[in-house]
Structure 1
Amino acid sequence: MANVEDAEIPPYERIPSSQSRALAAAIRLGIRPFSGRVKGGPAGVRLWRSLLGAGAYCLRADPRVSVEPFNDPCVESPEIRRPVRGEWLRPPGGDARNGVVLYLHGGAYAICSPRTHRVITTRLAMETGMPVLVPRYRQAPEHPFPAAFEDALDAYRLLLARGLPPERITVVGDSSGGHLAASLAGEACRTDLPKPAGVALFSPWIDLTGELATTSQMLRKDPFIVPAVATRFGRLYVGSGDWSDPRLSLLNCASADLPPFLIQVGGIEVLRDEAERFAEVLAEAGAVYELQVWPGQMHVFQMFNRLLPEADAAMREAARFIRRNVDHGSFPEATRPAADAPPPAAA
């Protein structure tokens, strides 16, 4: 009977597993004290890049997915101003005509890379059966705003230029990559750029000012993020940019014609308030969205999808969202008709 009752409860409403509690405690004791001392200067950024680059080897990517370096000069697409670089993750039998995932990795706009997130991107490729493109966007402090945004926009434009219908493209991002993904969707609605089929956000960093994180009720519970450090990285990325720019200020710039959103956030992370506030903004705009607050989970817990049952379930939830929107054009309860586009050219 217990198993039947548990099966009826959505995975994002269940009591945290012993594995997730143990991992959160270990990170709270082993990493948070160190991360709080990072000043956000060039030396600190270099150190974080080295540590997280090395740590990525501890999280094994799915070996069944092929990893292909990608460098397209885009000489035939004048609207794309610079080469698009990154990597393709291709599952066995994956066909771009069935859909493509554009994944924008996190890392506070200053650290991480496509390689550090392969444990997520290879899992998405296998769960959806779709190729995943992960652009290597320029990072702060060497390249402040709008460099990362422009690179993400160019990657999306490249997929469209190669013949992929927008209703077959899903944009996914974690942390700062979640900010990028939401910014990209907003830009599509503000311009004549076709909007993607859907947007999935893992622990999105919505408020780059750090104000919501600093006042979060999860300050003492978050095992990883120190709001003061996040604020420093936000300033590194924004630089001399205008904080009210709609590509930066996501809580003030909603559109009535946004694609469907899935938002997954950990229940004990300081970015939870931001995710919940962004969901309110989407609701006020009349957008179709789903907010999942996973009890007891930390920032981008999906990274541990081979270790934690919650992360494993979250990846399956994200894959269902992606397949549903690519197959039907929207959430089942939405009234937008599905688009029946011709097959795209090979990507």
Structure 2
Amino acid sequence: MKKNNNTLFPGNSWQGKIVTSVMRTLIKPVVSRVRFSRRFMKFSQLGFDAVTLALPVHSDVHISPALVGGVPGEWLIAGRGVRSNRVVLYFHGGAYFFGSPRSHRAVTWRMSQYCKAKVLALDYRQPPDWAYPAPIDDAVRAYKALLALGYNPDHIVFAGDSAGGNLSLVTMLRLRELGLPLPSCGVLISPWGDLTCSGDSVATNSDRDPLIPIGALSFVSRSYSREHDPASPLLSPVFADLTGLPPLLVQVGSTEVLLSDSERVAAQAEKAGVHCQLQVWENMPHVFHALASWLPEAQQALQEIGAFVHEHLSQRDEGGHVRAHAQVVRGRQ
């Protein structure tokens, strides 16, 4: 059995303290008062995209629309250092009801930069129009299409944040069921691993978490799982046997309500003999990586992701130095 590497990273920058304070005093109280409904879910999908598009994307980043295996999304290529044979298949977060490749560009273009890889960000189906298992089906179709296009699974990385971290993990479980080759490794950012919302930190961090109200988690869990048992391993991978999965990197903030989800995923990996690095970032909010333009901790976390990916890919793709190309659709500084 491989021993896991659990690390606590300090988060004491003045930028982090300001961001956390603003979230706790201005954003969380508003979200806590929201009455969740189908109409609100539709509205939030548009609103979140509009707000997050204000986050800067470097002018060297090439972005083009994608349709891979019939699943829409976008390709992102950050600069000349990207290796054409490397792909990060990215699953955006948003609690399985909002978010898109557009809303997560502040994360995905940096993933391309630090991992020296093309990023394929999927626009998978989600509630309220779709529910489980539609996102998993989309993820499997896109991955199979990448293999059919000639990409080697040893050069593919699965990555995602929050609900996308969940989707990254359960897609690997589904691929294992189907007997398909697994990607080289997985990067899980604040993964939502337990849709039953039964983790210890859901209670212990309910007041400390600067962003996520508990009521929101319960509602979106029901909207996604619907008639299915939320404790099913393909819904809540904290209850899954992770045997045979590739190496994992899990990053999470110490005050998140989802902290115990990450800890339990790491524990399940260790139990199954899967190499897993758990990095807990002190006082950092949910998916703080999106604020890398301002947060030094976010920049460091992304550097850690790049180092992890290079560790697992560099010996396998020494011939992959050809620059990747894509049509420039949007790029700003």
How far the C-alpha of 1:125 sits from its partner, in A, is 0.9
Match for residue 84 of structure 2? 96
- TM-score after normalising by structure 2: 0.90
What is the alpha-carbon distance in structure 1 between the residues aligned to residue 205 and residue 217 of structure 2? 15
* Alpha-carbon distance change, 47 to 265 in structure 1, aligned in 2, over 3 angstroms: same
Matched AA of 2:34? V
Q: Is the 8 A contact 1:175 1:204 kept in 2?
A: yes
Match for residue 54 of structure 1? 50
Please say if 1:174 is aligned against 2:161. yes
What is the alpha-carbon distance in structure 1 between the residues aligned to residue 274 and residue 135 of structure 2? 25
- After TM superposition, the structure 1 stretch with the greater mean CA deviation from structure 2, 46-55 or 166-175, is 46-55
Match for residue 185 of structure 1? 172
How big is the alpha-carbon RMSD for the aligned residues of Structure 1 and Structure 2?
2.3
Match for residue 136 of structure 2? 149
How far the C-alpha of 1:217 sits from its partner, in A, is 1.3
Matched AA of 1:236? S
What is the alpha-carbon distance in structure 2 between the residues aligned to residue 119 and residue 136 of structure 1? 16
Q: How many residues align?
A: 318
Q: Secondary structure at the match of 1:86?
A: strand
What is the alpha-carbon distance in structure 2 between the residues aligned to residue 327 and residue 107 of structure 1? 31
Q: 1:108 aligns with which of 84, 90, 95?
A: 95
Q: What are the superposed Cα offsets for residues 46-95 of structure 1, whole Å, 9 maximum, x if unpaired?
A: 232233112112211222110000124x4xxxxxxxx1211000123333
Please say if 1:131 is aligned against 2:101. no
Q: Secondary structure at the match of 1:322?
A: helix
Matched AA of 2:298? A
How far the C-alpha of 1:168 sits from its partner, in A, is 0.3
What is the alpha-carbon distance in structure 1 between the residues aligned to residue 137 and residue 16 of structure 2? 36
Q: Secondary structure at the match of 1:277?
A: helix
Q: Is the 8 A contact 1:40 1:229 kept in 2?
A: yes
What is the alpha-carbon distance in structure 2 between the residues aligned to residue 195 and residue 265 of structure 1? 24
Match for residue 263 of structure 1? 250
Please say if 1:28 is aligned against 2:28. no
Higher strand residue share: 2
How far the C-alpha of 1:144 sits from its partner, in A, is 0.7
* Alpha-carbon distance change, 249 to 15 in structure 1, aligned in 2, over 3 angstroms: closer
Matched AA of 2:113? M
Q: Which runs of 5 or more structure 2 residues have no equivalent in the other structure?
A: 1-5, 326-333
How far the C-alpha of 1:343 sits from its partner, in A, is 11
Q: Secondary structure at the match of 1:115?
A: coil
Q: Is the 8 A contact 2:83 2:118 kept in 1?
A: yes
Matched AA of 1:250? P
How far the C-alpha of 1:340 sits from its partner, in A, is 9.1
Match for residue 59 of structure 2? 63
Q: Provide the identity percentage.
A: 33
What is the alpha-carbon distance in structure 2 between the residues aligned to residue 249 and residue 299 of structure 1? 19
Task: For 1:251-330, list aligned pairs within 5 A.
Answer: 251-328=238-315
- TM-score after normalising by structure 1: 0.86
Match for residue 240 of structure 1? 227
Q: What are the superposed Cα offsets for residues 304-330 of structure 1, whole Å, 9 maximum, x if unpaired?
A: 0111000010011111111211124xx
Match for residue 236 of structure 2? 249
What is the alpha-carbon distance in structure 2 between the residues aligned to residue 12 and residue 303 of structure 1? 20
What is the alpha-carbon distance in structure 2 between the residues aligned to residue 186 and residue 62 of structure 1? 35
Q: Is the 8 A contact 1:302 1:311 kept in 2?
A: yes
Please say if 1:39 is aligned against 2:27. no
How far the C-alpha of 1:285 sits from its partner, in A, is 0.8
Q: 1:119 aligns with which of 75, 92, 106?
A: 106
What is the alpha-carbon distance in structure 1 between the residues aligned to residue 297 and residue 242 of structure 2? 32
Q: Is the 8 A contact 1:209 1:235 kept in 2?
A: no
Matched AA of 2:313? V
Q: Is the 8 A contact 2:201 2:259 kept in 1?
A: no
* Alpha-carbon distance change, 340 to 58 in structure 1, aligned in 2, over 3 angstroms: closer
* Alpha-carbon distance change, 215 to 261 in structure 1, aligned in 2, over 3 angstroms: same
Flag the structure with more relative contact order, 1 or 2, with Cα contacts below 8 A and sequence separation at least 6. Answer: 2
Match for residue 197 of structure 2? 210
